[in-house]
Amino acid sequence: MQNNNSTHSSSAPNEELDLMIPDMDSAETETSVQSVLQRLPGIQAVRIIQRGAWIRYNPLGISPDEICTAIRQSGFRASIFQDSKTGRTGVSSQ
């Protein structure tokens, strides 16, 4: 019996990421960033906070660097506040 890729990727433990997004300073920009994040593969949940976002994601579908790059390509600066797996903090996507 073969493994279904979607079953395999959903079985990976989700990870969490806190991002600082200083350019996200209005309801319009929050909506824009949330839309970008929700369209990315592997994103399980997004919570927008003031000038930042909390993200739950499947690491088999996307990496923290890819998440930051997508935000940057949308015109916003983003940096990792904390990666739940590594505890890494303060890494800029610029």
- The DSSP bridge partners found for residue 17 are 55, 83
Query: In angstroms, how far is CA 55 from the centroid of its own chain?
Result: 5
Res 92 pLDDT > 50: no
In the structure, what pLDDT confidence band is assigned to residue 76 with cuts at 50, 70 and 90? very high
Whole-number Å distance between alpha carbons of 53 and 73: 16
In the structure, what pLDDT confidence band is assigned to residue 13 with cuts at 50, 70 and 90? confident
Look at the pTM and tell me if it is higher than 0.85: no
Whole-number Å distance between alpha carbons of 79 and 46: 16
| pLDDT tens string 51-75 | 999 999 999 999 999 999 999 999 9
In the structure, what pLDDT confidence band is assigned to residue 29 with cuts at 50, 70 and 90? very high
Domains parsed from the chain with CATH numbers = 12-85 (3.30.70.100)
**pLDDT value, residue 57:** 95
